[in-house]
Structure 1
Amino acid sequence: MFLLTVKKKFIKELTVIGIVLTTLVAVVYHLFIPDRYFLWFPAIPIFFYLFGLFYIEMFAFNYRVGLERIAMTYLVCKVLKFIVSAMLLMFYGFVIGHEVLAFMLTFIFFYFAFLIFETRFFLLFEAKLKLRKKANDEKNTVHNHHAVTADGGSGCADEGTGR
Structure 2
Amino acid sequence: MFLTTVKKKFIGELSVGGIVLTAVVVLAYHFLMPEWYFAWFPLIPVFFYLFGFLYIYMIAFTYELGADKIAMAYLICKVLKLILSALVLIFYGFVIGQDVVAFVATFVFFYFAFLFFETRFFLRFEARLKLSKQVNNEKNTVHSNNTAAVVGNTGNDAEGGDRR
Superposed pair shares fold, TM > 0.5:
yes
Q: Which runs of 4 or more aligned residues in structure 1 lie more than 3 Å from their structure 2 counterparts after TM superposition? A: none
Distance 1:154 1:122 in 2: 46
How many residues get paired? 156
Aligned 1:96-135 pairs, distance under 5 A: 96-135=96-135
Distance 1:146 1:87 in 2: 57
- Percent identical pairs in the alignment equals 64
CA apart distance, 1:33? 1.4
Distance 1:144 1:128 in 2: 26
Distance 1:91 1:104 in 2: 11
Amino acid aligned to 1:17? G
1:144 aligns with 2:145: yes
- More moved, 83-92 vs 141-150: 141-150
Distance 1:144 1:125 in 2: 31
Query: Once superposed, what is the RMSD of the aligned Cα atoms?
Result: 1.8
TM-score computed with the length of structure 2 as normaliser: 0.90
Distance 1:124 1:117 in 2: 11
Distance 2:98 2:12 in 1: 33
The match for 2:83 is 83
Q: Deviations over 1:101-149 (max 9, x none)?
A: 0000000000000000000000000001001111111111111324334
1:39 is paired with a residue of what secondary structure?
coil
CA apart distance, 1:8? 0.5
Gaps in structure 1 of 5+ consecutive residues: 156-161
The match for 2:69 is 69
